[in-house]
Amino acid sequence: MKKEEFKAQYEGRRKEFESLRTSIFGLVSKAITEAGVSAMPILSRTKDLDSAVSKFERKKYDSPFQQMTDIVGFRVVLYLEHEIELFEKTLREYFKVDEKNSVDRRKPTDVQKVGYRSLHLICTLGEERRNLPEYQDACDIPFEIQVRTALEQAWAEIEHKQKYKSKVALPSDLQRRLNILSGNLELIDKELSRIALAANDYKHRLNSGDDSVESDYLSATSVLIVCEKFAQENRLKVASKNKLNPSEKSTERLIEELTEFGVHTVKDFQDLLGSLPIEEYKKNEDDDNTVFGIIRDAMIINNHKKYFKKCYWGQFDFEVRDVTFYNKLIDDLEDIETLIYENGGEIRYDDE
């Protein structure tokens, strides 16, 4: 095929390539959701004419529309390294992968080589979609999906823009420093992934009631999971709003309140929730219960004097129904209204 013929055919098929890009974009988005991974916005493009012509001339293709595997290209950037394998597995279920032309550049053939890392899959839609009208003319067109982590993406951009990819791009001392930095980024990527996996394992152990976590100091993760597990086991209604968020000051304040109350470990917290008179509590519970509300109710009902004298400084107000509720459940009652007002709080009445 001559250059001018290739140009004419490429221009004539541009809409076809764009249609394929749109279709694949939707399928890749679904694959991200199905794999359960966290990704940055998908990047996609159809190769422009000048770039396509340049590659055609450089590679001297006989059948350019089958041999040029990146006319349509996608880049998916994930946050964690271990999620690449999960996503790759899903992509292989969605598309037919050309193993010969695909390459995993995260696994260099030279163990001393560091730098650019990325998974490049060359795919087609596959025979199964040929009978679908929207895909029947596009099943043989190859496309490329690049998958990498956010750190790998940052490194690739730096290498490309600064032209550091060449072995002679920099003096040897600077090149050595660059290689050391690249190796460190790879280690950081792996450690971030290991931490995320360990955090998921910790959540599983909390949910399963594993004794090994009982001596751990409280965290937003442990407080939320233990409280939700307690609510589920006791069939308490918990509203989805106002859940604990580790980045919010309100969560920090709640854990400070628990600490001041003398609740330091997961076991302490389990015992605190277990002290609730659950059947009486359920009779008076609010349909709008939150994790915050259940935990503070547990402290107040367990020892209202300690809570108001050590943990409460007016950081939130009460409704009159709250006071009525506590009055029904607390023995040895010291006037709660007085304790609230003395510590800078307010009581909201229904007509306010």
User: For 138-148, what is each residue's pLDDT tens digit?
Assistant: 778 899 999 99
> What integer pLDDT is reported at residue 29 of this predicted model?
97
pLDDT of residue 127: 81
> Long-range contacts made by residues 186-189, C-beta under 8 angstroms, separation at least 24?
186/114, 186/117, 188/151, 189/81, 189/149, 189/151, 189/152
Task: Indicate the pLDDT class of residue 283, thresholds 50, 70 and 90.
Answer: confident
Secondary structure element (H or E) that encloses residue 334, with its range: none
d(CA 85, CA 152): 15
Q: How far is residue 169's CA from residue 13's CA, in Å, rounded to a whole number?
A: 39
- Judged by average pLDDT, the poorest of 77-86, 107-116, 142-151, 242-251 is 107-116
Give residue 178's pLDDT: 81
Task: Report which of 186, 25, 164 is spatially closest to residue 111, judged by C-alpha positions.
Answer: 186
pLDDT > 90 fraction of the chain, expressed in percent and rounded: 59
Give the model confidence (pLDDT) of 170-228 as tens digits. Answer: 788 888 888 888 888 889 999 999 999 999 999 999 999 899 999 999 999 999 999 99
Q: What is the Cβ-side half-sphere exposure of residue 276, based on CA atoms within 13 angstroms?
A: 26
Q: Higher model confidence: residue 289 or residue 148?
A: 148
Q: Which class would CATH give 3-188?
A: alpha beta
Query: Is the pLDDT reported for residue 336 higher than 90?
Result: no
Model pLDDT, residue 112: 60
**Domain spans in the chain, listed from the N-terminal domain onward:** 3-188, 209-348
* Confidence at residue 171, expressed as pLDDT on a 0 to 100 scale: 85
Q: Does pLDDT of 70 surpass 60?
A: yes
Given this model, what pLDDT does residue 333 score?
67
User: Which residues on neighbouring strands pair with residue 302, listed in sequence order?
Assistant: none
- What pTM, to 2 d.p., does this model score? 0.78
d(CA 211, CA 209): 6
Average pLDDT, the chain: 88
pLDDT band at 275 (very low <50, low <70, confident <90, very high): very high
Is a pLDDT exceeding 60 seen at residue 30? yes
pLDDT of residue 71: 94
Beta bridge partners of 76: 147
Give tens-digit pLDDT for 92-140.
999 999 999 999 987 766 656 666 788 999 999 988 787 777 776 677 8
| Distance between start and end Cα atoms, the chain | 81
